[in-house]
Amino acid sequence: MMKRSLKSVLVLTNSYIDLMKPNILIMVLITSILGYYLGSDGTILWQNLIWLLIGVTFSAGGAGVLNQYIEREQDKIMNRTCGRPIPSGIISAQNALIFGIITVILGIIILVVKTNLLTGFLSLLTAFMYVLIYTPMKRITWLNTSIGSIPGAIPPIGGWAAATNSIDSGAWILFAILYLWQHPHFFAIAWMCKDDYEKAGFKMLPVIEPDGKRTTRQILWHLSLLFPISLLPVLIGMNGYIYLYGALIITLYYYLSAFPMLYNKSSKNASRILKASVLYLPALMIIIIIDKGI
């Protein structure tokens, strides 16, 4: 009986963690650390950084919960999401709503009290745009990807603000890099899951334009813009030549991963872009740390 109860507790705990979208949350934490590290110019106050990560975990994770609460009916329809905690019945919609609201508020309070008001505000803005603007826009326009990329690009600014209590040009460059990075990433996912999105009524670009030509153009267009933007940290003196060559290599790799989609718009080729995008941010972070450490 005790083993069964313990197993039930573990299942429920894991389900609440799943509600917080851990895969997305990891990317948010990585970019927050990136912003903090560059904003502090490599001088890290570990206690401050830890409180930042705790606050971001709660606020961003809570936003993920509220996103799933709003899209619970659509999640039931899609193959890739029907096993999520709410549609599968593990967690009730009401409990998810309460959990999401509490975690967002708790995260913002932690950031305001333990970091600064600016970081707390940026976290609130991110959650607001993600939950109340981007989420409903998915059923209205294919531009939801560009709209959703705004809150998705705010975390490095939040990390920068946590380190400096200000938003400088370096923070805006990080915002632009992340904003452009997201488009190929999410367009690739949209192409791979276009049938699911169509069933759920989401107006993703591959759904409204099934031949994939505009989707591929959007991917290559944003990757082309990522080249010059990713080099701006060198021009303003924020990073050196190790970053310059490293950023060129990983951006070129990301760019070239999209070329097979020009000739064969398959899920396999979209998956190549997705894999390259997932590698890009950790690689960029490692390059920046090496560049700053030498």
Q: Could you tell me the CATH number of the domain that includes residue 23?
A: 1.10.357.140
pLDDT score for 242? 93
CATH number of the domain that residue 193 is part of: 1.20.120
pLDDT score for 156? 95
Angle of CA points 235, 241, 246, to nearest 5° = 105
* Residue 260 and residue 250 share a domain: yes
pLDDT score for 8? 74
pLDDT tens digits for range 137-195? 999 999 999 999 999 999 999 999 999 999 999 999 999 999 999 999 999 999 999 99
What span, in angstroms and rounded, lies between the C-alpha atoms of 161 and 210? Answer: 41
Angle of CA points 75, 179, 118, to nearest 5° = 95
* Residue 216 and residue 162 share a domain: no
pLDDT score for 9? 76
Domain boundary among 138, 166, 194: 166
Profile the chain (294 residues) by mean pLDDT over runs of 10 residues: 66 89 93 92 87 97 96 92 91 95 97 96 96 95 95 96 94 96 96 92 93 93 95 91 94 96 92 95 90 75
Q: Which residue, 284, 188, 272, 192, is CA-closest to 229?
A: 284
* Residue 214 and residue 134 share a domain: no
Q: Which residue, 15, 30, 4, is CA-closest to 158?
A: 30
pLDDT score for 11? 78
* Residue 203 and residue 144 share a domain: no
Domain boundary among 131, 166, 201: 166
pLDDT score for 4? 58
Q: Which residue, 107, 100, 153, is CA-closest to 126?
A: 153
* Residue 188 and residue 86 share a domain: no
Domain boundary among 149, 166, 183: 166
* Residue 150 and residue 173 share a domain: no
In this prediction the pTM is 0.92
Domain count, the chain: 2
pLDDT score for 206? 94
Task: Look up the domain containing 18 and give its range.
Answer: 1-166
* CA atoms lying within 13 Å on the CB side of residue 232: 15
* Residue 51 and residue 21 share a domain: yes
